[in-house]
Structure 1
């Protein structure tokens, strides 16, 4: 269960992650001609692989989490795969999905024949680390792929670019912007969203001054509660960088600390964020021991949603978290 949970699949509401220790822009980004749309295009991704094309890519398929960011910057995808269907993904709310081919709606499900028919210029996905150091393991498939064989076959249809989901979300957002600029997204397009994002970060930073303690979890009837570790989840890490009080749940496992329903009382906090891909807050409150925790008693239990790594989605999530903190009180 833990290996599965150490991926965004069971976060549903969380898991972002920023590329720490980025190389210099000249070694990581696209060519100067790429942004103008003329000449050859190249990009070195976070696995160290360099993709080179005769021209800037315009038809892009990929992981829901990644292509959602491009769409927020004005570039609609041609095909998608990921944990859910697009209609069930909060990152695509309000989008016209009629021209996007869903290649798969569960992890590892990718219709390669449909992908080939789309003839994309590029496939964009994420790479997740295997431990707290942020290490990427090339012997494991990139996120969204069932196995290395499926990834290889997809790569024969179109080159794959992977952005690493490690470190802080702030870094992943920057890295995603870097990729977006390489394929033609302009500074003018990014200016307004960037200001909104920075304002949302400032709002959360101010809300965090209340000192309210927060815990993000994925809860299951039979397995108990998995408490996310802020140092391993990019979004949570970015919140702590803004001053959020997020207690370390302990344990030696990467990303999660699993506790029983009976032992959740040993982790009292003011606010609990629950994964949208696990038990709802309402169902968690039906568990007697959780209902007796400080956050449970105060009914300070809010959704924890995964938001794509871009200015638009992150601003929305940061503002929502700040709003929830502003409306909560100290109960521990």
Structure 2
């Protein structure tokens, strides 16, 4: 699976943290004339004689388009759509599911949908679009032969990612200023301001992104985690690990004997596969977990790691984290 941006095993993916999907209308916008163009995340301009309407999209990117009223004809996901945090609460009626495992896409079924555009995030580190990276089934890569591919680059900000998909949706005919759709962005903007106010009130509060497993503890490197970079930008002191793995700089890997190398005031769990209630269970299996003062104090909350794509989901996660910050103690890690 996609090991470079995940330390999760296939087994743990089934335990994903419940997410909050959007409820925006998924009615297709009125057909628009052409020509059409969009500057994709890799810097290339993708063009078509008419505005694409039969779109196949990767899971998170599909959720982003649907939040603006653009309904794809097909979706390929990295896991079951029932557990995918981007999709689990969306109405997928009428959408063909083309895959529910990373690197496995039913290209024959995709071809039957006669797509005129494929949408996926552009990953600069791998120089590939979502689902078409190195390591996927060669048959799956043939998806790229069915239609032009476009998407927004994963970079230094989820805010930028959401804005990029707003622009893509607008180019596809979405009425992004529709009151129901615009309300999601307005809620997000209010959530950002509340988050900034919470962190300003606690300027010494430190946090660390972590993903503990039975064998190791992984400390997230914000440089490769756009959500954490946003949090830093908005005032939360998320720790930068001192020695990220050379071959895998997204994390610093610690043995359980060294689990207490960092002492943040707040631990941000990898929210894709763990719930805060698992904290105590990890402590039973790995007593050194409680050598981290924040773990012992129960100063633990979920971090929406690597999955956010929409203003609405980002607003929901920011609101949750803001509540935690408001109740946090800046002296836990001392």
**Among 23, 35, 41, which residue is 1:40 paired with?**
35
Query: Where does residue 51 of structure 1 map in the other structure?
Result: 46
SS, match of residue 87 in structure 1: coil
**Among 176, 192, 209, which residue is 1:216 paired with?**
209
Distance change >3 Å, CA 263–CA 9, structure 1 → 2: closer
SS, match of residue 61 in structure 2: helix
Query: Where in structure 2 are the equivalents of 1:303-314 lying within 5 Å?
Result: 303-306=302-305, 307-314=307-314
**Is the aligned partner of 1:144 residue 2:112?**
no
- Determine which structure has greater relative contact order: mean sequence separation of CA pairs < 8 Å that are 6+ residues apart, divided by chain length: 1
Pairwise CA RMSD = 2.6
Alpha-carbon distance between aligned partners in 1 of 2:112 and 2:283, rounded to the nearest angstrom: 47
Query: Where does residue 186 of structure 1 map in the other structure?
Result: 175
Q: Deviations over 1:260-285 (max 9, x none)?
A: 11112111112112224445541333
Query: Where does residue 237 of structure 1 map in the other structure?
Result: 229
Query: Where does residue 20 of structure 2 map in the other structure?
Result: none
**Is the aligned partner of 1:168 residue 2:157?**
yes
Length-normalised TM-score, structure 1: 0.82
**Among 58, 62, 68, which residue is 1:67 paired with?**
62
Query: Where does residue 326 of structure 1 map in the other structure?
Result: 326
Distance change >3 Å, CA 267–CA 328, structure 1 → 2: same
Distance change >3 Å, CA 6–CA 247, structure 1 → 2: same
Q: Deviations over 1:114-139 (max 9, x none)?
A: 11112222111112232xxxxxx54x
Alpha-carbon distance between aligned partners in 2 of 1:260 and 1:238, rounded to the nearest angstrom: 28
The answer to whether the 8 Å contact 1:220/1:279 transfers is no
Query: Where does residue 154 of structure 1 map in the other structure?
Result: 143
Alpha-carbon distance between aligned partners in 2 of 1:317 and 1:126, rounded to the nearest angstrom: 21
Query: Where does residue 285 of structure 1 map in the other structure?
Result: 283
1:198 offset after TM fit, Å? 0.7
**Among 182, 186, 190, which residue is 1:195 paired with?**
186
SS, match of residue 85 in structure 1: coil
Alpha-carbon distance between aligned partners in 2 of 1:301 and 1:54, rounded to the nearest angstrom: 51
In the alignment, structure 2 segments of 5+ residues that lack a partner are 18-28
1:147 offset after TM fit, Å? 4.2
The answer to whether the 8 Å contact 1:85/1:102 transfers is no
Query: Where does residue 225 of structure 1 map in the other structure?
Result: 217
Distance change >3 Å, CA 149–CA 51, structure 1 → 2: farther
Alpha-carbon distance between aligned partners in 2 of 1:147 and 1:94, rounded to the nearest angstrom: 27
The answer to whether the 8 Å contact 2:166/2:176 transfers is no
Query: Where does residue 93 of structure 2 map in the other structure?
Result: 98
Alpha-carbon distance between aligned partners in 1 of 2:7 and 2:119, rounded to the nearest angstrom: 17
1:326 offset after TM fit, Å? 1.9
Alpha-carbon distance between aligned partners in 1 of 2:266 and 2:312, rounded to the nearest angstrom: 25
Alignment size in residue pairs: 302
Distance change >3 Å, CA 43–CA 35, structure 1 → 2: farther
Distance change >3 Å, CA 43–CA 236, structure 1 → 2: same
The answer to whether the 8 Å contact 1:232/1:255 transfers is yes
The answer to whether the 8 Å contact 2:290/2:296 transfers is yes
The answer to whether the 8 Å contact 2:105/2:140 transfers is no
In the alignment, structure 1 segments of 5+ residues that lack a partner are 15-33, 131-136
Runs of 4+ displaced beyond 3 Å: 8-14, 146-152, 276-281
